[in-house]
Amino acid sequence: MPPSTLVRFRKRDSGEIVEEAIFSERTLRWFYEHPVGSLVFRGLLNNRPFCDWYGRQMDRPRTAARIPDFIAQFGIDMAEAEPATYKSFNAFFTRRLLPTARPFDQDPRALCAAGDGKALVYPVLDEDVRLPIKGTACSPEALLAGEAAAFAGGAALILRLAPYDYHRFHFPDGGMAAAARRVPGGYHSVNPIALAKVPDLFCRNKRDVTIVETDHFGKVAIIEVAAITIGTIVQTYQPGRVERGQEKGYFQYGGSTVVLLFEPGRVRFDDDLVADSVAGLEVAVKCGSRIGLSARG
């Protein structure tokens, strides 16, 4: 078996670099770091029927018994959540937070994080840049599965959600949003353990693509990437005018990823995120927090 991938990230609020607590780590490593596990994953699990079946299991009332242990294991602050009785694990997983828990920066120049997660930023998408930084991954054209000329030479943000994160995603700025376009694909895990083995998985996985003509950052492509056990990406917005901080949708059970693509010269990511991303170090950010500024004032 090859050496295991060690997953570390920086907590932006404290600056501390920590090793990530990975949900079902042993199973995930078996799927991606053991030849037999890889065969099982490819042959039986990396498909829509399995993910749909697993999602239905997480909707069953008996799964609610798993919630207390999950909260305790990952130290989830339930004081942030709206008061609710969760009748299944999926109901808990897609929980809403109190409006005060994730306030959006109201400076119109500020680029706000679209969700909770571990961030990597790419200030310039030149011809040699592939997403993510490690490995030979996919180009913006492949990720969008369509015309990407507007984003050539632009910028990108990858926001990876772990299973314990808040799993609703929001619009980072106001603007006019088109309808989401579904791109079919597989269901690889988006954890760095999987990325080390399948670096182009963002372009292999099922995903939704939404183009937004934003108020302060020009045209932005928002891509939600599905993952193992996530058969469903739910869009809760209506095409048309949207506002900064408005809920866009949510992922059902499992961790996943949101990718944002920007036109050239429209955004300047904060220096600390740029420095860490160059080093391949993810940074934990909160939904609504500032991660950059408009490059046009």
Which of 88, 116, 188, 270 is catalytic? The answer is 116
Concerning whether 276 is annotated as a catalytic residue, the answer is: no
Please list the residues that pair with 182 across neighbouring strands.
208
Query: Which of 277, 266, 272, 278 shows the shortest CA–CA distance to 291?
Result: 272
Which element (helix H / strand E) includes 141?
Answer: helix 140-144
Concerning whether 34 is annotated as a catalytic residue, the answer is: no
CA distance 124 to 67: 41
CA distance 290 to 286: 9
Strands 290-294 and 110-112: antiparallel
CA distance 107 to 111: 9
Cα angle 207, 174, 103; round to 5:
90
Which of 88, 165, 167, 170 is catalytic? The answer is 170
Q: Classify burial at 165, counting beta carbons within 10 Å of its beta carbon; exposed 0-12, middle 13-18, buried 19 or more.
A: buried
Residue at token pair 């949003």: 177
Are 138 and 183 in contact by the 8 Å Cβ rule? The answer is no
Concerning whether 170 is annotated as a catalytic residue, the answer is: yes
Residue at token pair 């269901």: 187
Which of 256, 277, 289, 294 is catalytic? The answer is 256
Catalytic residues: 116, 170, 256
